[in-house]
A and B are shown apart, each in its own frame.
Chain A
Amino acid sequence: MSRTNSITDLLEVGIKAENLRQKTIANNIANLETPEYRRIDVKFEELLANSMDSSGSVDLNELEPELYRPKQTPIKLNGNDVNLESEVGHMVKNSLRHTAYIRLLNKKYKQIELAMDVK
């Protein structure tokens, strides 16, 4: 396989990771009052950075977003550590990144269309 990644492939894994992160945020908010529940987060950007070689290319088939429990926020009396404000913050950042990826993908498709539109 070629060792350089196409823009669309990179955007695809990015959008997949943001989708997964959105799901975990929804899950965390749904379990806001569940006793003993610890919040879940997605580890992706670090894994992507770590698996990059010197030329900046990655084997995207090997790369899977990872779910983990950060266990960093303070625990409430019922053993739960979900904080609504933090989840809203994560959601805002997540949706902004998601929009950026979608816009870039759209831009890429427009470019391809432009190239095909020679009459």
Chain B
Amino acid sequence: MDSVSKENLNTIKKNKGKIIGLSLKKDREFVLEKEGEEGLNKVEKEMEKMGYVLKTEDIGNYEWYPVQFDSLFLLLSKYFFDWDEEIMKEWGRWAAKTHFLARIMAKFFISRKKLTEMANRLWRKYYTQGTLEVKFDENNNFGIAEIKDFLLVPSHRLYLEGYFYQIASLVISSSKLKVVQVKDKDKKNHRFKITW
């Protein structure tokens, strides 16, 4: 169970990277869809209390904003609405389907090889901090998506787990497809195992 712990807040504060406004906006749309305007306002007010003032209508699609805004938004939403891990993963899958950037990039994901090549490019569309590497072991039907140099709280990791699942499903046609976090203690590097 994720919680607004001091540790998580510190982790968020330490992430100095930026996120594209489009992504921020889309993530707020998910909350709006799930919990309505009231739910969204609740999260935004809490963020304001914590000193993170950013109204949805003020977000520019192609402006860059501190990743902290997004990580905190994910964290607070999970906390306030008591969402389980599956909803957080669904959020990630939803983002991979609806984000304009993901749609732009989807055309490149025509094979696992291509995904390997283009993975970091996709990361860079969203974030200014960190890298994404994806590798596949075709013989053993698995792959690893690894985020390096990027601080993540558990709720954000669940979100990305869903996101990677959706992206992986574009190049892996299997009902056995699974994406799971590899539980490392390293807070800056994060691995996700893709199996099918």
Q: Do A and B bind each other?
A: no
Residues of B at under 8 Å CB distance from A? none
Residues of A at under 8 Å CB distance from B? none
